[in-house]
Amino acid sequence: MGSLALTCSSPSSFLRRVSRANEPRFPISLPSRCLPRSQCSCKPQGWSISTSLRIGCSLERAGNATPKNLHVASIAAVSPEETIENSSLPKGDMWSVHKFGGTCMGTAERIQSVADIVLGDPSERKLVVVSAMSKVTDMMYNLVDRAQSRDDAYLSSLDGVYEKHMLTAKQLLEGDDLVRFLSQLHSDISNLKAMLRAIYIAGHATESFSDFVVGHGELWSAQMLSYVIRKSGRPCSWMDTRDVLIVKPTGANQVDPDYFESGKKLEKWFTGDIADTIIATGFIASTPKNIPTTLKRDGSDFSAAIMGALVKARQVTIWTDVDGVYSADPRKVSEAVILRTLSYQEAWEMSYFGANVLHPRTIIPVMKYNIPILIRNVFNLSAPGTMICQQTGNENGDENSLESCVKAFATIDNLALVNVEGTGMAGVPGTASAIFGTVKDVGANVIMISQASSEHSVCFAVPEEEVKAVSDALESRFRQALDAGRLSKVEVIHNCSILAAVGQKMASTPGVSATLFDSLAKANINVRAIAQGCSEYNITVVLKQENCVRALRAAHSRFYLSKTTLAMGIIGPGLIGSTLLDQLRDQAAVLKDKFNIDLRVMGITGSRAMILSESGIDLTRWRELQKEKAQAADLEKFAQHVHENHFFPNTVLVDCTSDSNVANHYYDWLRKGIHVITPNKKANSGPLDRYLKLRTLQRKSYTHYFYEATVGAGLPIIGTLQGLLETGDKILSIEGIFSGTLSYIFNNFKGTRTFSEVVAEAKAAGYTEPDPRDDLSGTDVARKVIILARESGLKLELSDIQIANLVPEPLRASSSAAEFMNELPNFDGDLSKQRDDAEAAGEVLRYVGVVDIANEKGIVELRRYSKDHPFAQLSGSDNIISFTTMRYKDQPLIVRGPGAGAEVTAGGVFSDILRLASYLGAPS
């Protein structure tokens, strides 16, 4: 069946025919917008069938007449003969305009709360613009969709609309007010059934017909609120804004207000006895031909701004369900703050870029008269809200601070980037015009445009659902240029998002762009395209959608100095790892309060079990949680969990093990943008090619790899060496006692004590590994020597290091540590003799590691030092390292202090964590 087109000349005749022929189950009355026949300019011959669906008299008023039907009648009827000169419309600061959205009008209780707010406003005159009840507009659109798709369920859906409003009215109203409202509601529903039946028969609804149906939600909510206010004893009028607002359709989903005609209509509307409180419908208006239309989706804000401009109100208050405008989406950035003020331009930019602030066009009407807009929370009247106005000074912070320049951030998801590229574009007039003319013909919305100065390429962002049509059209339009090679490609990059930084004071402030891009780089975010208008009110970047939240948090953190949050994964909760976790627990509150550093341990894993958290493990109970919520350890899953939590822009994995397998993952983690901190020596002392590959990756990215605790535990050995090299000093040699265990042993190996006796004492005190051979073999010292050698530029393998193994040859194959300790006294003679010889010469024995730069080698051996040498002055398990350089040739630079123990090693790791936080934006 083809679509029918209905042309009206007598709507009452049409409705009676439709009722008799098709829908005998309900009473029929005139449509709520239909005029009595005495005022109708239509010809009396009834309805005729034609090839297009057009809404005539049922949606059209003759001249300036006002319908007498209660549903749409204003409190004061205005005759066509009355003139503007007779109007008593007051304008100016005596007016306050309020707008309440669907959420505010969602239930009977909320409508009563709205009435209380209106009644509590001390303004001389109040104009209140209301939306339909929550979800009603969607329900009305659904009615039209079902009717034109010939789905009989539209009838039951309409019953649902009726029931929703009927039940709400019964909770709010009583007596004659309730009877009047329900009578009108029943009449409107009957008329809607007839109209929807017409749509059902035609299988199509014009935009005008659809707008007329959808606009009923606002009519009902406005009437109910006006009845509630009058019930309190306050005089109140209600306005059907289709009698006042005149708009001109300018394209798909857009209309432009006709302020002159709307002003004339408003003047006439006010010629009667109008109360000081007016309840007006939002969202709906009329065309210049008096056909009902709408301001399109979310247009109630726009209605309020237009009405505010028409009466030159003191203020327009937009009531919503949030405390004001946030510096970023609080669902994505928990540290987002309420902005006290926004300029018109800033609010305009934010609404364009998807921020849930206002309808994008709301700002335009009020800017002309400098009328402020106040965003307030209907559910939290104590919140002051956000004022949108013309700003002359910085009301959100220090006028000179970089942070105050960027006011807020907004994002748009589900975009695709289209790149048109080719050398034949350079210097060719009309290329951009051809590209965007083609896009316009498709009807796609271009969100952002970027072009290099070379004119070699033009890229732009469009919604993902429109990109295929755009790319196909461009391929077709430029087929000849593509075939000839003047254009190289039309490329589509899917799954993109836009991040926009907005701020009026960004204009002419140096360093804003640098700071923004530095924050993104440190969060390992790659930017695909950039745009900034000459106004400098916003900087727009296109990036992968999967990185959008992390980018938003990183940028917001940098500009708003919110907590520098690190999502951490702790690998190896052994002696060092558990000590670190306890240190983090004890220091967490201080770091948050004093340094704005928020360290969140998202997971802890050992070799067998791990625990994971979405928001951060409670470190006061991490040992108990290990038993209660442990799951099988999976290092890949663990890293993925910590890194892919998009609520935290920066991720660090802390390896507290000595496991080579864990160290082998460092490269992949760094490549994915995960920072790595470790006391594990295996990566830096392992195969040379792997080490060089790791360091090369580190140097060319913003991903950090810190390993201070690999050499001196808590001592600043690596940092000192790097500082010398970076400032141009030349290293000649590095010599030191690198093992706290061997330092303790040889500090106490004196007098008549035997070597085995001192080793046993060190083992009992916990200074050695469970098997002391791991310390006495010298391998651990050799690993530290190779790390320092490589940092100094020597390309050595561990096998190149000469090691003096202190484990007697026969005992190296002992089956256990106990067997080794039992046999060790049998080999005390040699070391006792070396000690005695040294003491006779006024010297001491020390087990040292040496990096010999001149000869490009590393050595681990037992050496003798005079008793006045710094190495002879140690006590306990202290370490000492001597740097001989061109600057420190005559008197070496010495670093000395505790070099072993869980506390100092964990402290060294903790220091690296705080160093990373400072690199990412926290105060250093």
Residues in the chain: 924
565 neighbors 642 (Cβ within 8 angstroms): no
Half-sphere exposure of 137 (CA within 13 A, CB side): 24
Extract the tokens encoding 344: 């018109």
Extract the tokens encoding 886: 């061109």
Nearest CA to 786 among 865, 707, 700, 715?
707
Rounded Cα distance between 733 and 724, Å, is 13
Active site residue 784: yes
Nearest CA to 758 among 770, 769, 742?
742
Extract the tokens encoding 843: 């010297």
Rounded Cα distance between 84 and 88, Å, is 9
Extract the tokens encoding 659: 């496991």
Rounded Cα distance between 496 and 231, Å, is 53
73 neighbors 67 (Cβ within 8 angstroms): yes
Rounded Cα distance between 794 and 799, Å, is 14
Nearest CA to 365 among 256, 291, 220?
256
If you write DSSP's letter for every residue of 831-888 in order, what string do you get? HHHHHHHHHHTTEEEEEEEEEETTTTEEEEEEEEEETTSGGGG--TTEEEEEEEESTT
Half-sphere exposure of 269 (CA within 13 A, CB side): 26
Rounded Cα distance between 612 and 677, Å, is 19
Rounded Cα distance between 97 and 127, Å, is 5
Please state, in angstroms and as integers, the Cα–Cα distance from residue 51 to each residue in 45, 142, 195, 211, 292, following that order.
Answer: 18, 25, 18, 21, 22
DSSP state letter for 602: E
Rounded Cα distance between 352 and 142, Å, is 27
Angle, CA of 528, 533 and 538, to the nearest 5°: 75
Q: Which of the following is catalytic: 332, 505, 563, 784?
A: 784
53 neighbors 205 (Cβ within 8 angstroms): yes
Nearest CA to 509 among 543, 539, 540, 554?
539
Extract the tokens encoding 350: 């934010």
Please state, in angstroms and as integers, the Cα–Cα distance from residue 140 to each residue in 158, 491, 640, 743, following that order.
Answer: 8, 41, 45, 83
79 neighbors 189 (Cβ within 8 angstroms): no
3-state secondary structure 294-333: ECCCCCHHHHHHHHHHHHCCCEEEEEECCCCCECCCCCCC
387 neighbors 342 (Cβ within 8 angstroms): yes
Give the residue carrying structure tokens 């609309």: 161
Please, which residues bridge with residue 246 across strands?
286
Q: Is 603 in a helix, a strand, or coil?
A: strand
408 neighbors 503 (Cβ within 8 angstroms): yes
Nearest CA to 507 among 374, 391, 363, 385?
391
565 neighbors 648 (Cβ within 8 angstroms): yes
Nearest CA to 125 among 274, 231, 268, 260?
274
DSSP state letter for 816: S
Please state, in angstroms and as integers, the Cα–Cα distance from residue 760 to each residue in 2, 875, 920, following that order.
Answer: 100, 18, 46
Rounded Cα distance between 34 and 20, Å, is 19
Residues annotated catalytic, as ranges:
784
